[in-house]
Amino acid sequence: MWDRLARACTRTLEVSIVVSLAVMALLVFGNVVLRYAFDSGIAQSEELARLMFVWLIFLGSILASAQRMHIGFDTLVHKLPAPLRKLLVLATGALMLCACVMFVVGGYRQVLINWDNSYPVLGISYAWLYGVAVVFGLGLMVPIVHNIWTTLRGGPPGDGLTQDLGDRINAKLPDVATGQERQE
């Protein structure tokens, strides 16, 4: 059940990111064509593309964390004995959870402060811009708690930090050769 929920959340993030990127590209490209070809443009496209870009970045960060694709310096971690690696995963997870709480609280306060302020052209509240901090903080908590839980339950210590790109490619090669995509 948890695996299906995780796959559904991952798929939702992926689709949201792809749709945001496609809409942004259409808005910006269309505005450029309109500006140079017809000496006009869509006033809302610039503000909307900027807002969507901010959401795209934060949603992409959640997805990258869930798939352990963030850049990490783990040379030292792999040289430590297993108990210290486990302790390091727990300590960094706790620090990251504190940062997530700061994002949620700070983002919520900014939403309240900017609720009545609106974009000049779009006319929507700036709360949409700052609301991404709340979504990011809550969304990032899930993979962090999962890493901590896996480590506490005896999963491979240090494995919850990052995953090497070469290892990811090698793990996918058999699936590519058979034409199947394995769901993680």
Q: With a cut of 90, say whether residue 94 has pLDDT above it.
A: yes
β-sheet bridge partners, residue 118: 125
**8 A C-beta contact, residue 126 and residue 118:** yes
Between 7 and 75, the more confident residue is 7
Joined tokens for residue 62 = 């959640």
83 vs 164, 165, 169, CA distance in Å?
A: 21, 25, 28
> What is the model's pLDDT at position 9?
84
Between 107 and 82, the more confident residue is 107
Q: How is the chain split into domains, by residue range? A: 2-178
3-state DSSP call for residue 72? coil
> What is the model's pLDDT at position 162?
56
Using CA atoms, how far apart are residues 81 and 79, in angstroms rounded to an integer? 7
Q: With a cut of 70, say whether residue 121 has pLDDT above it.
A: yes
Could you please report the per-residue DSSP string of 150-180?
HHHTTPPTTTTS---HHHHHHHHHHHHHHT-
What global pTM score does this model have?
Answer: 0.77
Q: With a cut of 80, say whether residue 160 has pLDDT above it.
A: no
